[in-house]
Structure 1
Amino acid sequence: MSTASVIEVGNKDSAVPVTLDRFRELFNALDAGNLNKLSTVYSENIQFEDPLNAVTGLDQLTHYFAGAYANVLSCRFDFGEPVVNGENVGITWVMHLRHKRIRRGREIHVDGMSRLVIRNGKVTRHRDYFDAGQLLYENLPVIGGFIRWLRKHAG
Structure 2
Amino acid sequence: MTDKADLNTAARKYAAFFEQVTLERVKDVHELISDDVHFIDPFNDVKGRANFEKVFDKMYEDVQEPRFKILDLAWSGDLCFMRWDFACKQKTLGNWSFRGISEVHFDKDAKACAHYDYWDASRHFYRKLPVIGAIIRWVAARAAI
TM-score greater than 0.5 by the shorter chain: yes
Question: Is 1:111 matched up with 2:102?
Answer: no
- Paired letter, 2:51: Q
- Partners of 2:25 and 2:124 in 1: CA distance: 23
Equivalent in the alignment of 1:25: 16
Return the letter of the residue paired with 2:47. Answer: T
Q: Could you tell me whether the CA contact under 8 Å between 2:81 and 2:101 is conserved in 1?
A: yes
Establish whether residue 139 from structure 1 lines up as the match of residue 137 from structure 2. no
User: Corresponding residue for 2:40?
Assistant: 49
Mapped partners of 1:143, 1:55: distance in 2: 26
Identity %: 23
- TM-score scaled to structure 1, two decimals? 0.76
Partners of 2:20 and 2:82 in 1: CA distance: 18
| 1:78 is aligned to 2:69 | yes
Distance 1:25 1:77 in 2: 9
Deviation of the 1:150 alpha carbon: 7.3
What is the CA–CA distance in structure 1 between the aligned matches of 2:61 and 2:17, rounded to whole Å? 17
Secondary structure at 2:15 match in 1 = helix
Say whether the 8 Å CA contact 2:101–2:118 is kept in structure 1.
Answer: yes
Q: For structure 1, which runs of at least 5 residues remain unmatched after alignment?
A: 1-10
Q: In the alignment, does 2:84 pair up with 1:93?
A: yes
Give the conservation status (yes or no) of the 8 Å contact 1:28–1:75.
no
Alpha-carbon deviation of 1:149? 8.1
* RMSD value, Cα: 2.5
Q: 1:134 to 1:23 in 2, by over 3 A?
A: farther
**CA offset at residue 152 of structure 1?**
7.9
Superposition TM-score, scaled by structure 2 size: 0.80
By percentage of residues, which structure has more helix?
Answer: 2
